[in-house]
Amino acid sequence: MTLRSIIAAIATLAVATACQDKPDPVVAAPNAAIDRDLLDVTVPRLRQLYADKKYTVTDVVNWHLKRIDRYNGVYGAIETVLRNQALAAAKREDAESGGTHGPLWGVPIVIKANTSVKGQVTTAGWEGFTRPGHELIAPKDATIVAKLEAAGAIIVGLANMPDLANSDTNRSSSFGRTGNAYDVRFSPGGSSGGVVTAIAANFAVLGNGTDTGNSIRMPAATSALFGVFPTRGLVSTAGIAPLDWLLDNTGPIARTAEDAAIALEVMAGPDPLDAVTLGSPATAQKPPYEPAIEAGALRGKRFGVPAFILAGDGVPFHGIPATVPDAAAESYRVGANMALRPETRAMFMKAVDALRAAGAEVVIADSILPTGFARAPSACGL
């Protein structure tokens, strides 16, 4: 065989191989379609996709698990992936025929790592709860976990959080750092930052946050999500590792107000394991909450914005030792003030304008919360 014929044979083989390896666009289309349908999917939209039989629950759960496999190494949102458990639950739901499904049927969710899931280590972000032979293994589900699963939700993982929820960032000794889904160089806030990043990165549709001093509200705000801090007693905290028995609370984190309302309906209700939830006053707003999400719902409502927020007089929350003389402490407070960046202020005022356009009254005044509110907690006993 001549050199020319050998080269020709190799070229022919290469062309044939290239043609065999080239992906068929017909085969690739379903992946593109499911990406388009499930990115930032909401609960009502997911219900419609199921009703149209476009996807099975297993399809949807697998899609989210693949997102975790691909991107969790970047974002660090999920401490424990519950792959086998999630796929088994999806298979059971796919086998169900007819009947009425729960409000969260087939919805992939994440659970914050301080919330008990039966048989799993409740790390609460602390490496001490993961020590071999001394793991804090949950003997049963937290009340809200049992309610969410009974409503058809499927847990795909346990979300990272700072140690014992005692931080407004999201770095844990049991797992590591969680980055913001919009820019991993920044924090998603804490202590529910793992849940927030998981939802924003499309690892799940919903999640539960816990809040003792802003741990649902602040992280949700960093990633354009909706977090609900319910009145204490509306939702049970039984089965959640405590930070402060008097102030601890739990509520949903979601992409839309409607999704949050649907999840809150599932989570709310009396629980004999949490005495605070028993005997709520007759005036308490009870489910359903979803119908309240309608045009005109904000008309006549009144919102207050403490003026010190816009002035930047909030940095002193970082703390000043109580041993520092008053004059020096005040000088530090003034020097630490940091006005909102122009772009941040513009976005904030855009939200205020949107509330007003929807018929709400927004009051920005010192009388709502005086500057002293921000200053008082800054003196800590160190």
For 355, the domain range is 302-380
Same domain membership, residue 344 and residue 272: no
Residue 313 has pLDDT above 80, yes or no: no
Cα 188–194–200 angle (5° rounding)?
70
Q: Is residue 11 part of a domain?
A: no
- pLDDT tens, residue by residue, 168-194: 899 999 999 999 999 999 999 999 999
Same domain membership, residue 44 and residue 191: yes
- pLDDT tens, residue by residue, 227-244: 999 999 999 999 999 999
Strands 108-112 and 154-159: parallel
Task: For the beta carbon of residue 71, count every other beta carbon within 10 angstroms.
Answer: 18
For the question of residue 215 being annotated catalytic, the response is yes
Give the separation between CA 240 and CA 195, rounded to whole angstroms.
Answer: 15
Strands 206-211 and 249-254: antiparallel
For the question of residue 280 being annotated catalytic, the response is no
Q: Which of 292, 318, 334 is the last residue before a domain boundary? A: 292
Same domain membership, residue 307 and residue 278: no
Q: Is residue 2 part of a domain?
A: no
Residue 90 has pLDDT above 60, yes or no: yes
Same domain membership, residue 149 and residue 50: yes
Same domain membership, residue 316 and residue 286: no
For the question of residue 66 being annotated catalytic, the response is no
Same domain membership, residue 306 and residue 277: no
Q: Is residue 14 part of a domain?
A: no
- pLDDT tens, residue by residue, 103-144: 999 999 999 999 999 999 999 999 999 999 999 999 999 999
Same domain membership, residue 352 and residue 220: no
Q: Which of 258, 292, 326 is the last residue before a domain boundary? A: 292
Same domain membership, residue 307 and residue 182: no
How many structural domains are present in the chain? 2
Selected catalytic residue, list 167, 172, 187, 215: 215
Selected catalytic residue, list 116, 167, 187, 191: 191
Same domain membership, residue 155 and residue 85: yes
Q: Which of 241, 268, 292 is the last residue before a domain boundary? A: 292
Strand partners of residue 364: 305
Residue 366 has pLDDT above 50, yes or no: yes
Residue 26 has pLDDT above 50, yes or no: no
Same domain membership, residue 214 and residue 362: no
Report the predicted TM-score, pTM, of the whole model to 2 decimal places. 0.86
Residue 382 has pLDDT above 70, yes or no: no
Give the separation between CA 233 and CA 268, rounded to whole angstroms.
Answer: 9
Same domain membership, residue 246 and residue 100: yes
Residue 381 has pLDDT above 70, yes or no: no
Give the separation between CA 117 and CA 239, rounded to whole angstroms.
Answer: 9
- pLDDT tens, residue by residue, 314-339: 554 556 777 888 888 778 777 777 77
Q: Output the pLDDT for position 380.
A: 54
Same domain membership, residue 260 and residue 147: yes
